Amino acid sequence: MESNEPNPANAPPPAWQSDPGQFRPAPVRVPHPFFGALDAATKRSVYVPILIAINVIVYVVMGLSGIGCLMPAADSTLPWGVNYWPLTTSGEWWRLLTSAFVHFGLFHVALNMWALYAVGKFTERLYGNGVFLLIYLLSALLSGVASITWEHVAVAAGASGAIFAIYGALMAYLVFQHGSFPQGAVARLLRSTMGFIVINIVFGFSVEGISNSAHLGGLASGFVLGAVFARPLDAERQKRQTVPKVLAGVTLGVVMLATWIALVPKYPSNYRTDAAFKDSFDRIIADAQQTDLKVNALINQSRVGLITDTAFSEQVEKNVVHQWAANVNELEALNLEPQSPFRPLFDKTLKLARLNRDAYQTLVAALGEDNQAKMEEFNRLKSEAGKVEVSIFSLGSAPKLKGTPRKPGPAAPRPQ
């Protein structure tokens, strides 16, 4: 039987046997020493996944608490540690850090976590795990101070101040340790890094409600800290320089933070007390209107004989005098500081409460004793209370402090 397969014996020899000069082995690509040095210095990113997980968990817990997953109201975010100038500078400095893990909605957290993942893993390996975390946290604090330096009304939160700092640190490494990288890599990395920074800064200035002060503060602090912390990838030099660089970087970061905190404008009094007064003020003004209506209704009933003077007196003491006495006690317990921007309004409100308390106490006595002189005193006190009330509305609740809301309370959230 004949086979259709070619006879191996008759096949021509391979080219390398007939003409050995035609054989050229493929060139072997030798990895740049940078990659081996990077693996030896920091094998993998550790803190970027942890930071992302913390941010996502905080966002989910906030959403489950009911404050909203897309754009929560500013007031609802205050208990979660957002950065708000009156509260932060009133002594709640921990908000500088906690605000870096709070986000205003799904888009905000998703965009920031994508950016952190994109730049963070590589930068963490350049600086080392521990140093990367130091840069991130110190810059989060510094960008928070930058935010409240210029933003006195809005609440601010988000990781982007710290993320801009990581981009700044990457730039610093490319500038000061450029010899560690393969040829041409520095220029490409700088172009992409600068592109991201410029696009986001321009976007921040173009769109209302973005805290560019935090972005710029983070970028600057990250670059400065990165310039100090940047370590060579060469193992021997790295061993000699790591400890001095870490000490210098931490010292510089702490000094920068302490200096900036000392210089940032402070809320002039205790914000919590001012906010409590705001709540009392709203209710007391409503009480003034309601009690006048109640007393006028009782007067009308008394004139037509529907109620006796004794019953009139008892109703006033029970429903009016006790309420104004409670208002006076509540205001006196607040004890606003003299430098509070709401102190003028507080003094007038306290005077109004005392005049109304005294007036209605005098009315009860006048009714019980059928004393015309005390009735005239009641009218005098009520007339004076009316003048104080008019002066309160002419003053309004506007504090004498530039940049502070008309009443204590944050404006719209400002993502960073």
User: Tell me, what's the pLDDT at 404?
Assistant: 37
As a whole number of angstroms, the distance between CA 328 and CA 335 comes to: 11
| Arithmetic mean of pLDDT, 219-239 | 86
Rounded to the nearest 10°, the torsion over CA 181, 184, 189, 192 is 180
Q: How confident is the model at residue 24 (pLDDT cuts 50, 70, 90)?
A: low
Assigned token pair, 344: 């003028």
d(CA 55, CA 29): 41
* Tens-place pLDDT, residues 151-210: 887 888 999 999 999 999 999 999 998 877 877 788 888 888 888 888 888 887 877 777
In angstroms, what CA-CA distances link 341 with 270, 281, 344, 346, 374?
10, 14, 7, 9, 37
Query: Residue type at 299?
Result: I
Read off the amino acid at residue 317: E
pLDDT above 80 (res 86)? yes
User: Per-residue pLDDT for 305 more than 60?
Assistant: yes
Mean per-residue pLDDT of the chain: 83
Q: What angle do CA 198, 204, 210 make, to 5 degrees?
A: 150
Quote helix, strand, coil % in the chain, to nearest 5: 70, 0, 25
* Distance, C-alpha 164 to centroid of its chain: 16
N residues, the chain: 416
Q: What is the pLDDT of residues 308-361, one digit of tens each?
A: 878 888 888 888 889 899 999 999 999 888 888 889 899 999 999 999 999 989
pLDDT band at 94 (very low <50, low <70, confident <90, very high): very high
Domains of the chain: 33-263 (1.20.1540.10), 271-400 (1.20.1420)
pLDDT of 379 strictly over 80: yes
- DSSP conformation letters of 303-336: HTTSS-HHHHHHHHIIIIIHHHHHHHHHHHHH--
CA distance 251 to 326: 53
19: pLDDT strictly greater than 60: no
Confidence of residue 252 (pLDDT cuts 50, 70, 90): very high
Residue 7 C-alpha from the chain's centroid: 82
Asked whether residue 399 carries a pLDDT value surpassing 60, the answer given is no
pLDDT band at 2; cut points 50, 70, 90:
very low
Mapping DSSP to helix (H, G, I), strand (E, B) and coil, where does residue 156 land?
strand
**277 compared with 413, residue with greater pLDDT:** 277
What is the reported pLDDT for 406? 38
Residue 254 is encoded by which pair of tokens? 């702490």
User: Which of these ranges, 35-39, 140-144, 174-178, 243-247, has the smallest mean pLDDT?
Assistant: 35-39
**Phi, psi angle pair for 83, to nearest 5°:** -90, 115
CB-based contacts of 82: which residues, under 8 Å, 6+ apart?
95, 98, 99, 102, 155, 156, 157, 410, 413
Residue 234 pLDDT > 80, yes or no? no
| pLDDT at res. 221 | 96
On whether the CB atoms of residues 146 and 233 are closer than 8 A, the answer is no
Would you say residue 20 has pLDDT above 60?
Answer: no
Please state the separation of Cα 212 from the chain's center in Å. 13
The tokens of 322 are what?
């006790």
pLDDT value at position 170? 94
Q: What is the pTM of this model?
A: 0.76
Residue entry with tokens 């933070």: 257
* 332's tokens: 């006196």
Band (32; pLDDT cuts 50, 70, 90): low
